[in-house]
Structure 1
Amino acid sequence: MVGEFAVPIGGVLPETVTEAGSARASDVMIAARLERLPMTQFQRNIFLIIATAWFFDSIDLGSLTFLLGSIKTEFGLTTAQAGLLSSMSFVGMFLGAGISGMLADRFGRKVVFQVSMIFWGLGSLWCAYAPDATTLGYARLLLGFGMGMEFPVALAIVSEFLPTAKRGRYLAIMEGFWPLGFIAAGCLSYVLLSYFDWRAVFLAQAVPAVFLFAIRFFVPESPRWLADRGRHAEADRVMEEIEAKVSARLDGRPLPEPQPLPAQARGERRFSFLELWSPGYASRTVMIWLTWFFALLGFYGLTTWLGALLQEAGHSVTKSVVYTILISLAGVPGFITSAILVERWGRKPTAVLMLLGSAVAAYLYGHSPSFGWLIAFGLMMQFFLFGMWSVLYAYTPELYPTRARATGAGCASAIGRVGSLIGPYAIGIILPTMGHGGVFALGAGSFVIAAMSVAFLGIETKGRSLEAISH
């Protein structure tokens, strides 16, 4: 019995294979057809839609940095209780990231991404009407679950639609929407806190959940995923639609010929989580889990408390928000620098640079001799922190094959959320005894461990197709 591939726009020669080899050949053919597509507004539109949803998520998560001081005051929380409240989002993100990756590898990227937006929209709405700290904690748990669901699926979608030459840069740029969202959260908090209380901020953040309709109508399912699941007819149909749209943006010029890609060696199909521990992937999994855990422990342990620490230093709520926004502005050149370096230097050296830079800046921030130096070292810290985020999100989905890509990114993110959970709570306990210097020394040490994990266990993925990396 034989199967044939349709000839797509661009003049690809038909290929006939036996049924035993059809799955691998189809995977490779779909990947080759995607890789040969020039970058046009069609791919950029998909990127912008996913990145905009990412931006809204970052506003939701970043808002607690600006609101924690007000919430702590209203409910009369201790520093340990406030740390526990801020950690509830990360419990939800741990659950959401771990589950959604496996669901996306089983049921598809598109549907899981839409469901994630429903969860975080409802979670944000619940936060606005929480009558006490306990209810607010549960609402943050639901909100975090939705945000955790979104991250690995977004990474899989963007990495699977973009050609190799652009993939790393665009993934790094997408992470740049994170500091922009963080800054937007600060601006939104500043404006609304001038007239209302912290509940109004959460209410405003629930509105963008309607953006899921843009995902539904304008983002197709990943043809790489469809082919990998054996749904060859659907993959070919989606691929033909993509090729037609790209060709239309090239004024009908013929598309380049697909270039040969290595067939992915595979035995019996495993449950996607077990793929992470199969030969060739186990060391990558250990490396990326260590990196995510310690990087996020340091990052969220520090940034969640930035506003509250400034308030404890004697600054008003509005002034602490302004100072935190000012510090966060350095994240913009940070992610731009990272987006350039991941394609010029590579993922591995850029990750090590940004993590070590974060460690040095965090230590200096915690030992600032004056307010002026506090702002200067804060700017330096945010530059490296958001550069670190960019390279992590570009690097992680490249480490795994299509059949386990969302699972790999989701589990790494979930392990990172354990660090996110521990960080704010640990700092709430450490702060009264060790002071600001001890808090930021803890963050610096975490970044050093993450940098060493990449340096000694990481592989380089720059300039290689997803199929070549997973071969």
Structure 2
Amino acid sequence: MLIQRQDPASSGAQMAASASIVTAAEGAAGIADSRSASAAGGITRGNIIARIERMPGNAMHIRARLLIGLATFFDGFDVIAIATTLPLLIAKWSLTPGQIGFLIAAPSVGQLVGALVFPALAERFGRLRSIGWSAGIIGLMSLACGFAPSFEIFALLRIVQGLGLGGELPVAATYINEVTRAHGRGRFVLLYEVVFPIGLMVSNGIGAWLVPHYGWEVMYFLGGVPLVLFFILRRVVPESPRWLAEKGRMAEADGALRAFEARARTPLPPPGDTSAFDAMTHHPRRRVRDLVGKAYLGRTLAVWMLWATCGFIQYGLSTWLPTVYKTVYHAPLQLALNLAAGASVLGVVGSLVCAMIVDKVGRKPVINVSFLLCALSLVLAGVFHASTVYVVATLCALAMGFLASGFITAYVYTPELYPTSVRAMGCGLGGAWLKLAAIFAPSLIAGTIGSGNLSGAFLALAVVPFLAALTVHFLGIETKGQVLEELEV
């Protein structure tokens, strides 16, 4: 699709507005070059892409990664908080196995809606608005959960909080991918995304220490921190230049990109001939229905299976683990929480390893090997379920570590598969399948784990990552090292 140039009457005003945000630090040669191009009315999508691709990571990337990472961190924190507080909530409200399964799955109802609504908002109003709104809901509802007087109100608040939890992750992954160049994108994005498993680990670790001493409410009070982002995010981080350019808002795209360029550690080279990048933008504009059309159907099926698997295992197993250790193996509460926290540590380790190798070996090999090893660990947990709690906990920790490796890679892989016009929605639909799996997995597993049938539960769980590895292998494409627009069809 060709982007029309601005008419002469409006060009001067728009360029003046864009130039007003340029700081003295932008006197570098590369910045002067891009200003000249803007003054000449030559800003195109190709020019924006070329400037992104010439720009290594800098202080503004770090700021964006830290602040948006804060939302993602507490997304992981709040998701797993239920696992550390569940044993006390069961005793407090005398919950039945069915109520326990509903309480675990309740936020996923909201997350399913959020995974569809917030990416749609991101496509229309911008990535940062959507992230800020979702972070506000996460924080506000977490605070409210700490004051919940009953099981019913607590479950309702968790459903509402799920709107933000479901919407934040796919849009955040979309934004981080869009402001990053192809070279080293996998490592850059995954070092950002590692904050999610860190959130899981910290939630387990802090919960194991705080909950026995200060009660379950403290976890939800801590989970209110993301509310701050609702007020500050758009003031301190630029909008995605790729999204602005795709919308035809070239002056704003130029201004947002200058905010990144101003933080470059060294003068940037001139963009040079951008014709090759302009050619990448000539693909037809895609709509949501194209995600299941001929061009993208194979990619979409791979994405849906990938995310559904992560939801099924993450919510069907990890949230049950402290309760399993306590009720089936009769471990003390503190030990049960400590063993569950150990699984989160391996998740962080696996995620860091993936960040180091994903640009070298590729996305598909990392996902497939991780899922196959996750399946193997679950099979072994089923075979040795009658052993001590330490054997089962070790195998479950390995399974969660391997799952985290594949799961985190999905956050760089999924946005790479779709064009800018539907990238957030492609990620959101993937996230919706994760939430669907999360809704049904706890109840399905409750019938086996809840009744003590650990062997059947572990073996059934193992089938899911095995099938996902096959689907990604045969239907997915490799994306490492390619400009996002190169991957469009």
Asked if the contact 2:378–2:459 (Cα under 8 Å) also holds between the matched residues in 1, the reply is yes
Alignment coverage as a number of residue pairs: 460
Matched, 1:417 2:417: no
Equivalent residue, structure 2, for 1:9: 31
CA offset at residue 145 of structure 1? 1.0
* Equivalent residue in structure 2 for 1:154, among 172, 175, 181: 172
> 1 CA distance for matches of 2:452 and 2:210?
34
1:164 matches 2:182: yes
1:325 aligned to 2:347? no
Distance 1:70 1:362 in 2: 27
Contact 1:80 1:429 in 2 (8 A): no
Partner of 1:109: 127
Please state if 1:237 is matched with 2:258: no
The whole-number CA distance in structure 1 between the counterparts of 2:270 and 2:289 is: 37
Tell whether the 8 Å contact from 1:187 to 1:325 is kept in structure 2 after alignment.
Answer: yes
Instruction: Answer whether contact 1:461 1:469 (CA < 8 A) is retained.
Output: yes
Q: Distance in 2 between matches of 1:348 and 1:137?
A: 37
Q: Does 1:276 align with 2:307?
A: no
- Tell whether 2:332 aligns with 1:316: yes
Match of 2:269 among 240, 255, 272: 255
Partner of 2:108: 90
Tell me if structure 2 keeps the 8 A contact 1:91–1:417: yes
User: 1:404 and 2:404 equivalent?
Assistant: no
Shift of 1:174: 2.5
1:17 CA displacement:
11
**Structure 1 residues 353 and 64, CA gap change in structure 2 (3 angstroms):** same
RMSD of aligned residue pairs (Cα, Å): 2.4
> Partners of 1:242 and 1:167 in 2: how far apart?
16
In the alignment, residue 140 of structure 1 is paired with which amino acid?
Answer: R
Distance 1:425 1:60 in 2: 20
Q: Secondary structure at the match of 1:221?
A: coil
Listed one character per residue, the Cα deviations across residues 340-362 of structure 1 (whole Å, up to 9, x for unaligned) are 22111100111101111111112
2:26 aligns with none
Alpha-carbon distance in structure 2 between the residues aligned to 1:214 and 1:458: 38
Q: 1:16 and 1:454, CA in 2 relative to 1: closer, same or farther beyond 3 A?
A: farther
Question: Do the aligned residues in 2 keep the contact of 1:98 with 1:411 (CA within 8 Å)?
Answer: yes
Q: 2:259, 2:125 → 1: CA distance? A: 21
Q: 1:210 to 1:16 in 2, by over 3 A?
A: closer
Residue equivalent to 2:483: 465
What is the deviation of 1:42? Answer: 2.2
TM-score (norm 1): 0.92
For residues 2 and 149 of structure 1, what CA distance do their matches in structure 2 show? 34
Deviations 1:193-242 (A, max 9, x none): 23322122212221342133442322111111111111112112222332
Uncovered stretches (5+) of structure 2, i.e. residues with no partner: 16-28
What is the deviation of 1:151?
0.8
C-alpha distance in 1 between matches for 2:343 and 2:405: 14
CA contact (8 A) 1:63 1:186 kept: yes
2: CA distance between counterparts of 1:53 and 1:141? 18
Confirm or deny that 1:127 pairs with 2:145.
yes
* AA matched with 1:451: A
1:442 corresponds to which of 454, 457, 460: 460
Question: Are the aligned partners of 1:3 and 1:17 in contact in 2 as well (CA < 8 Å)?
Answer: no
**Matched ranges for 1:45-444 at <5 A:** 45-246=63-264, 249-250=265-266, 253-258=267-272, 260-261=276-277, 262-267=279-284, 269=285, 272-312=287-327, 313-368=329-384, 369-432=387-450, 435-444=453-462
Shift of 1:36: 0.7
Change (3 A) 1:310 1:273: same
Letter in 1 for 2:356: I
Shift of 1:307: 0.7
Give a deviation string over 1:283-325, Cα, whole Å, max 9, x none: 2112211221133212210111011101112112222111111
Letter of the 1:291 partner, please give it.
L
Distance in 1 separating the partners of 2:429 and 2:420: 15
| 1:455 matched to 2:473 | yes
Quick one: distance in 2 between partners of 1:430 and 1:379? 19
Q: Tell me the distance in 1 between the aligned counterparts of 2:102 and 2:5.
A: 59
**How far has the Cα of 1:383 moved from its partner?**
2.1
Identical counterparts, % of pairs: 31
Distance 1:15 1:242, change over 3 A: closer
- Displacement of 1:109: 0.5
Q: Distance in 1 between matches of 2:93 and 2:371?
A: 36
Find the aligned partners of 1:282 and 1:60 in 2 and give their Cα distance: 33
Residue of structure 1 in register with 2:21 after alignment = none
One-letter amino acid matched to 2:258: E
* Distance of 2:259 and 2:96 partners within structure 1: 57
Once the two structures are TM-superposed, the CA of residue 374 in structure 1 deviates from its matched residue by 2.1
Q: Deviations over 1:43-100 (max 9, x none)?
A: 1221122112211111111111111121122111122220111001111111101111
Distance 2:259 2:350 in 1: 37
In structure 1, the gaps of 5 or more residues are none
Measure how far apart 1:278 and its partner are: 3.7
Question: What is the deviation of 1:16?
Answer: 11
